[in-house]
Amino acid sequence: MSVPKIELAGVTKAFSGKVVLAGVDLTVMPGESMVIIGGSGTGKSVTMKCILGLLRPDAGSIRIDGQEVSGLKGRALAAHQARFGMLFQGGALFDSLPVWRNVSFALSGPARERRAAALDNLARVGLGPEVADLKPSELSGGMQKRVALARAIAPRPEIIFFDEPTTGLDPIMADVINALIRQLVSELGITALTITHDMASVRRIADRVAMLYQGRIIWQGERNAIDSAENPFVDQFVHGRAEGPIQMQLRRL
């Protein structure tokens, strides 16, 4: 039995008295693609930010390769964060820099090598050298997502996070991005953690699926099991029904 890549046990987090994570337990094995599903405001982003060290959990343990990482500071925290790549929901490209400088941002070395590496990573997401010198604002939403994906994989992180990778894209472009994510994760052997509420994305990307509801993982299993989960919460979410045990929350967490 190998050591899990990511292991969360009893992680809790509250913001000014409001509980967002109420004890999250989650295990992701090396090279596995885990997708966390859940409605808006169920704590998906907070979970991700806790693992990344952008937020500090109130209690519980977060282990990467068996090493406790919650509570790291300074250089140890920076070293921890350097193992991750992240595709942000809005792309989060640096709009003052051209595409190639964005893609090669985390790389070091002479400019010529960094540019070559940027072109190589752009090619991996299906973009030609002609986009390298454009500014992010000159690209369409789908192209920006691809550039952001190239930037996330460029330093070859061990673990990569995808935050709502298909939000704001048309169904065809969404499928292109999903296919790219699946392909890159398999080719590069990266451990992937995705948060989404797009079921098409789940079916395309996931090896395993976990559902987060009211700050807890209420179900997890293989991708194929989501249609026969026999869990009323999962059932309602997967089929997108308004009626069911999940009631819409008015206030965000």
Partner 1 sequence: MTGALETFVHALIALGSVVLGLLASIGRLTRFAVTVLGRAVRPPWYPAQLLEQILVIGWFSLPVVGLTALFTGSALAQQIYIGGSRFNASSTVPAVTVIGIVRELGPVLGGLMVAGRVASAMAAELGTMRVTEQIDALTTLRTDPMRYLVVPRVLAAILVMPLLVLVSNVLGVMGGWLLATTRLGFNSAAYLNTTAQFLKADDVISSMVKAAVFGFFIALMGCFHGYNSSGGAAGVGRATTNAVVSAFILILLSNLIITVIVFGR
Q: Which residues contribute to the site for partner 1 (CB under 8 A)?
A: 49, 52, 54, 78, 81-82, 84-86, 88-90, 92-95, 105-106, 151-152, 155, 161
Tell me the pairing of strands 159-163 and 191-196: parallel
Nearer to partner 1, 108 or 247 (CB): 108
What is the DSSP-derived secondary structure letter of residue 177?
H
Nearer to partner 1, 23 or 41 (CB): 41
The dihedral through the CA atoms of 183, 207, 6, 252 has a sign that is: positive
Measured at the CA of 196, the angle between CA 120 and CA 212, to 5 degrees, comes to 135
In angstroms, give the least distance from the CB of 73 to partner 1. Answer: 12
Provide DSSP, 48-110: HHHHHTSS--SEEEEEETTEE-TT--HHHHHHHHTTEEEE-TT----TTS-HHHHHTTT--S-
At residue 218, the 3 state secondary structure works out as strand
Q: Which position has the token pair 């250089």?
A: 75
Nearer to partner 1, 125 or 152 (CB): 152
In angstroms, give the least distance from the CB of 92 to partner 1. Answer: 4
In angstroms, give the least distance from the CB of 85 to partner 1. Answer: 6
The Cα 245–Cα 92 span in angstroms is 35
Nearer to partner 1, 80 or 204 (CB): 80
In angstroms, give the least distance from the CB of 247 to partner 1. Answer: 26
In angstroms, give the least distance from the CB of 190 to partner 1. Answer: 14
> What are the phi and psi torsion angles at 171 (to 5°)?
-60, -35
Nearer to partner 1, 49 or 63 (CB): 49
Nearer to partner 1, 75 or 128 (CB): 75
In angstroms, give the least distance from the CB of 109 to partner 1. Answer: 13
